Amino acid sequence: MKMYDMKKMSHEEHGMNGHHHDEPVEDTEIKSWKKRTLWSWLFAIPIAILMLSERILGVSLVPENYLVMIFLVLGFPVVFLLGWETIRGGIRGLLTFYFNMDSLISLGTIVAYLTGIFSYFGFMADYSGVSAMIMAFYTTGKYVESIARGRASQEIKKLLELGAKNARILKGKEEIEIPISEIKIGDVMIVKPGEKIPTDGIVLKGASSVDESMITGESMPAEKNPKDKVIGATINQDGILYIKAAKIGKDTFLAHIIKLVEEAQGTKVPIQEMADKITSIFVPSILAIALITFAVWWYLGGDLSRALGIGVAVLVIACPCALGLATPTALMVGSGMGAKNGILIRKGEAIQTMKDVKTVVFDKTGTITKGKPEVREIYTKGKNKNYVLELAASLEKLSEHPIAHAIVQHAKLKRYKQVSGFKIIRGMGIEGTIGRKKIMVGNAALMKEKNISFKEFEEKIEGFENFGYTTMIVSENKDAIGVIGVADAVKDDSIQAVTMLNRDGYKTIMITGDNERTARTIAKEVGISEVIANILPEDKAKKVEELQKNGFVAFVGDGINDAPALKQSNVGIAMGTGTDIAIESGDIVLAKGSLAGVVQAINLSKATFGKIKQNLFWAFAYNTIAIPVAMAGFLHPVIAEIAMALSSITVVTNANLLRMKRI
């Protein structure tokens, strides 16, 4: 089911902001069933009190001749107003021979309600109070089910909000600001530090670092120089860029990602499929049994009232409220357990699907790794490590680069050395003077440009790079004195989680846009044998689709670039520490951002689905025993209603036993 009705609006005509989405269907559904449930019980509780007191306890709270009228008046809004959607669906099913749960509910409530009217003519006992009780129980079940299905995701809306709203363009020698929808191909955009790049383009003039993590998922900013391509909605960091617009509207990278997410929506397996298949056979069978029971009793006994009462009892006792509650109650308990463990189940379908997953695919940055660089190793020759780190950190304190933050964070100095003549050398490093010493911190290209020899460090630098480290060389007065290896660190529990998945027979794969060497280094560290590297964001979903040919796939990711793959996979698992769009695209969200949650989610899925199967078994076992008793005439419809309610309570109680399970 599509959760959004998309306005047929051209991106070229209206730009990205012209894309509209209606309110999520599930939000409206939850509110509707909640309202109906509250009103149903407002009328049904007085009926229940009167029924129990007068017909079970023998204490009449109102005069007998007023009782039926009260039942009819209080029952009417429950059955025919609040329950009209169910009644209409059931009648349509009966007329078209497309049977569902509504069919039994409709027939049982209507027949029971009509007995109240017929009782005035003296040839039938009144069972009209039962009708409101049936509908109230059923409405409650539907409300619980609507909550369990989860609220509709709003990932498309969030993606649309990522784009810049306005653009600053150059018209002659004048800078003017226009809405993004008015940008034309060839326009020259001026993007200052901290601003979003309005649309895809090519750098004409200027140099800067651009934070592309929302697209690539990589923590390191990308250096941009003339002729380099840039992507709309990414963030310019520290230099002014003049960019020629190359793509607009539906042709942009962000619009392409939106399209992929839209196409991948609505492909999950409905969790009610098994129950619905059984119900399609069960309901017509019960209708036939109830009709035959009524006919046989009327023919043999000649008592229309008794025959009809027994027929209604069969319908009521077979009323599949327990069946309707079997799945959502277990889901509700499972969801609650998950929440306590930081596993947020956004889509109930994931519980059914997760147990069948054979392959778990991981994004790298922010999922397996922490998503931000850390100092992993420091190597020096002839100098103390702390001295080298102190020099580097004092310079890096003045830089905004993520690597600079990593070095400063690692040093944790209380006092930094005074730096003068600080300068950023674009794409290579930094330099400055401390005391009378000229200090440089940068890559090999910077050292070569400044004619600084680092031959004695070459072997160590190669070793660092084999580990996937970004290497920064520190020089003092033109002498290389040390190297600092910086890399995105693996999360503390990633190794344990992957080891447990491998042990349990799951195939683990890492997919990343990063280079092969870095990817394999991280994969080896955590125990993943298969690596798919150098993957463009738009190709992640295609790779997942290929893997799905060999079985169900769970994808674990945290970035915007992961959203299509999260939706394409059979179960999308989003890291709660990631972007909003990834979280909204996931079926399951790991609030703590810990991969241990993947293992827990699988265990929770198996335990919850086990309870669903138990509930379905007990629901049908109850019917198997109770229906023959009702057919034999031993169950008054009121007793049948109580028994039916008890079956629902049994199912709910069994579902709550799930809380004792350790995941």
Per-residue pLDDT tens digits for 207-241 = 888 887 666 555 667 788 899 989 888 888 888 99
Pairwise CA distance, residues 235 & 196, whole Å: 4
Place of tokens 């810990």: 594
Radius of gyration of the chain (CA): 33
**Strand pairing report for 571-575 and 588-590:** parallel
Q: Determine contact, residues 284/99, Cβ cutoff 8 Å.
A: yes
For the stretch 475-497, pLDDT in tens is 999 899 999 999 888 888 889 99
pLDDT confidence tier of residue 4, bands split at 50, 70 and 90: very low
Burial 64-81 (b: 16+ CB within 10 A, else e): eeebbebbbebbbbbbee
Q: How many CB atoms lie within 10 A of CB 233?
A: 23
Nearest Cα residue to 290 out of 643, 626, 638, 647: 626
Asked if pLDDT for residue 66 goes beyond 90, the answer is no
Q: Name the strands in the sheet holding 507-511, side by side, starting at the edge strand that comes first in the sequence.
A: 343-345, 588-590, 571-575, 552-557, 357-363, 507-511, 530-532
Among 428, 422, 386, CA closest to 407: 386
Task: Check residue 464 and give its pLDDT.
Answer: 87
Of all residues in the chain, what percent carry a pLDDT higher than 70? 83
Beta strands in 467-601 (DSSP E): 470-476, 479-490, 507-511, 530-532, 552-557, 571-575, 588-590
H helix runs in 412-528, sequence order: 444-449, 458-466, 494-503, 516-526
Question: Chain-wide mean pLDDT for the chain?
Answer: 80
**Mean pLDDT on 406-418:** 90
The CA distance from 137 to 37, in Å, is 8
From the list 127, 116, 136, the residue with the least C-alpha distance to 51 is 127
363 is catalytic: yes
8 Å CB contact between 212 and 536: no
Q: Which stretches within 248-347 are classed as H helix?
A: 253-264, 273-301, 304-318, 321-340
Cα–Cα nearest to 461, from 452, 450, 472: 472
Q: With CA atoms as reference, report the closest residue to 625 among 655, 646, 656.
A: 646
* Residue 364 confidence (pLDDT): 84
Higher-pLDDT residue of 579, 367: 367
CA–CA separation, 530 and 528 (whole Å): 6
Residue 626 has pLDDT above 90, yes or no: no
Query: What pTM value is reported for the model?
Result: 0.60
Q: Taking 50 as the threshold, does the pLDDT of residue 631 lie above it?
A: yes
Instruction: Report the share of the chain in percent with pLDDT over 90.
Output: 23
Which among 187, 211, 363, 562 is annotated as catalytic? 363
Nearest-angstrom CA–CA distance, 5 and 3:
7
Interval 334-344 mean pLDDT: 75
pLDDT tens, 78-96? 999 999 988 988 888 878 8
The DSSP letter of residue 533 is -
